[in-house]
């Protein structure tokens, strides 16, 4: 049985159906429905290390954040917007680099 992606509105998408979902809906399905997220939570969602997020903050890059004293929080809306803007959507999920270059899988043209 395939793993399901849950959207915050309660809809479920299989991976195949998710290809036809706009990037914002896919991202919202991955982000917990709370006002803010911690760096640990964002790291888990994105697959980035917490230290990488800290480096991005220091260089004023990456996801917008809020600092309250030493605590760092990422607003949910900013996370969804940031991830959606970073999404790369292809029209053909089986599109490979070889196909883009006009080559067959065995390397011939």
pLDDT in tens, 51-102: 999 999 999 999 999 999 999 999 999 999 898 888 776 666 555 565 556 6
Q: What is the mean predicted confidence (pLDDT) over 4-8?
A: 44
**Domain enclosing residue 80, as ranges:** 5-100
Residue at 106 is within a domain: no
Q: What is the pLDDT of residue 92?
A: 60
Residue at 61 is within a domain: yes
Query: Among 56, 51, 46, 39, which residue's Cα sits nearest to residue 87?
Result: 46
Residue at 108 is within a domain: no
User: How many structural domains compose the chain?
Assistant: 1
What stretch of H or E contains 24?
A: helix 23-30
């Amino acid at each position: 049985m395939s793993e399901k992606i849950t959207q915050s509105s309660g809809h479920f998408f299989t991976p195949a159906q998710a290809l036809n979902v706009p990037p914002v809906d896919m991202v919202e399905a991955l982000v917990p429905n709370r006002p803010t997220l911690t760096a640990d939570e964002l790291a888990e969602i994105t697959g980035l290390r917490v230290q990488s997020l800290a480096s991005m903050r220091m260089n004023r890059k990456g996801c917008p954040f809020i600092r309250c004293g030493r605590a760092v929080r990422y607003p949910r809306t900013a996370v969804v917007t940031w991830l959606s803007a970073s999404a790369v959507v292809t029209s053909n999920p089986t599109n490979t680099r070889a196909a883009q270059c006009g080559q067959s899988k065995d390397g011939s043209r």
